[in-house]
Amino acid sequence: MKKLTSLLLLLLLTFSVAYGRGWVGGYRVSLSGYMSDSISKQEHLSVDLLYSPIINENMTLSLYGGYSFSNLFYPSVTQTLKGGLSFSFLLSQKHLLEPLFVRDTALFATLDIGLMSALSSFSPTFITASISPFTLFFGDMFISMSSLLVTYEIGSREFSYGIKLFELTHYLW
């Protein structure tokens, strides 16, 4: 009986490793700023949860949703809820910064498209798009730097811009 149980457990572990999925969910933290009359011009910290139904060595497709707020020490705090779709694709596995890291890295580019809605009595809704040509992938995390943000306020039909200083995406499960 012990041999049969051990054999079944070994087969179960073998098949779960062979056919199991890798990273599919985690969190994302970013620091960004906007040049818009409807959003405060301080830095904004954003915390998102994400789910990636497609993640492999060449591309990643993620759905995310989260909360963003401006500096809490200023009197006019902007709080927003946001959600969207993120698409990352491989540019190069051999890049100039690779010798600087201990872990294997790959250079990706990332495109985000989403909705952002302010939590206030005057609640503008924005369509946002960001592009990051410089995203490093470390196996279980992405680090993006210097992303360009474009926002479109739906109510006033105005475009504005911003910059995302950094974004850390870490897969946990």
Mean pLDDT score, 10-19: 51
Q: Assess if residue 104 is contained within a domain.
A: yes
Q: Assess if residue 95 is contained within a domain.
A: yes
Q: Assess if residue 1 is contained within a domain.
A: no
Instruction: Please enumerate in sequence order all residues whose Cβ is within 8 A of that of 170, keeping only pairs 6 or more positions apart, or say none.
Output: 26, 27, 28, 140, 141
Q: Assess if residue 10 is contained within a domain.
A: no
b/e per residue 93-130 (b: at least 16 CB within 10 A): eeeeeeeeeeeebbbbebebebebebeeeeebebebeb
Q: So what's the pLDDT on residue 8?
A: 60
Indicate which CATH number applies to the domain containing 60: 2.40.160.20
Q: Assess if residue 16 is contained within a domain.
A: no
Q: Assess if residue 80 is contained within a domain.
A: yes
Q: What is residue 6's DSSP assignment? A: H
Domain that holds residue 120: 22-171
SS3 17: helix
Average pLDDT, the chain: 86
pTM of the model: 0.82
Q: Assess if residue 86 is contained within a domain.
A: yes
More confident residue, 126 or 77: 126
Tell me the CA distances in angstroms from 51 to 31, 38, 172, one per residue in order. Answer: 20, 29, 10
Q: Assess if residue 119 is contained within a domain.
A: yes
Structure tokens at 133: 């040509």
* pLDDT tens-digit map of 92-148: 988 888 888 888 899 999 999 999 998 876 778 999 999 999 999 998 899 999 999
Number of compact structural domains in the chain: 1
Q: What is residue 99's DSSP assignment? A: G
